[in-house]
Amino acid sequence: MIVGRVSELWWYPVKSFLGQQFDRLTIRQSGIPGDRGFALADASSGRVLSAKRVHQLVSARTEGTEMVLPDGRRLSADDPDASTVLSSWLGRDVRVVRASGGEARPEIEGEEDETFRGEAGGLHDDSPIHIVTTSTLAYLRTLYPGGDYDARRFRPNIVIDTGSANGPVEQAWIGRMLQIGAAEFDVTKTCHRCVITTLPQWELPYDPAILRTVNQRADGECGVYLRARGEAVISKGDAVEI
């Protein structure tokens, strides 16, 4: 049964930086190649930084794998001055780290003093592919009409246009197989939201009521995680079937 179509595809080469939108993406069992392939880490502890705590990170963006800071400075991960420039920008000593691809789980800075272990081999907080549907975002707008529930606040890899469907329909897909174009996925669990959804990013303003509404009216959940069954290419406009 067709439940929607792909409306947006996003790639985030540097963890917590703004993403890039594409018309097609390669999908593998390990996720999307290069997605969260880099991150900034504390130079002394080695803990990976996240915009959950270091809110400045979402003011930077990427072009390809090049980092573009808010003042327009451009850096590559291999730039010998990258650590110095990034440390000056953030006001703490940091270095650039790459996803290991192994079994180690990175230690990530969460909100306040929390730390947690991320996805093995990568730099994701959790599963490597994340989706939201337009019906979920429309539902949240009915709960808080003054909020701008732009999909970019939720940092999905895939946005699915579910047409006239009502409510957070993707939560009913958990435990089932989802097909997007030629790619097959297992829908594994819901995505618990965090403070990043409230931060000013792109042209979107700071709005703490975005997360407060999700927490109070939607059990803190928005979107679901996927695991790919194999390699395939997906494109905007692809049919989504359950």
- pLDDT tens column, 107-158: 999 998 999 999 998 999 999 999 999 999 999 999 999 999 999 999 999 9
**Separation between Cα atoms, residue 89 and residue 17, nearest integer Å:** 14
> How crowded is residue 134: how many other Cβ atoms within 10 Å of its Cβ?
20
Phi, then psi, of 131 in degrees rounded to 5: -125, 155
Among residues 116, 150, 120, which one has the least CA distance to residue 132?
150
Any idea of the CA torsion for 42, 48, 53, 58, to the nearest 10 degrees? 100
* 196-225 mean pLDDT: 97
- The predicted model gives 33-45 an average pLDDT of 97
Task: Return all residues near 108 (Cβ < 8 A) that are at least 6 apart.
Answer: 47, 48, 50, 115, 116, 117, 118, 123, 125
Separation between Cα atoms, residue 183 and residue 187, nearest integer Å: 13
Judge whether residue 54 has pLDDT over 90: yes
Query: Which pTM value belongs to this model?
Result: 0.96
pLDDT of residue 65: 87
Q: Mean pLDDT throughout 226-235?
A: 97
List residues bridging with 204 in a β-sheet. 201
pLDDT of residue 102: 87
Average pLDDT along the chain:
96
* Terminal Cα distance for the chain, rounded: 6
- Which position has the token pair 């703004």? 18
Domain residue ranges in the chain: 2-33+126-241, 38-117
Torsion, Cα 212 227 66 195, to 10 degrees, reads 10
Fold of 2-33+126-241: M1 Pyruvate Kinase; Domain 3 (2.40.33)
- Its sign, for the CA torsion 100, 106, 110, 112, is negative
- pLDDT above 90 as % of the chain: 95
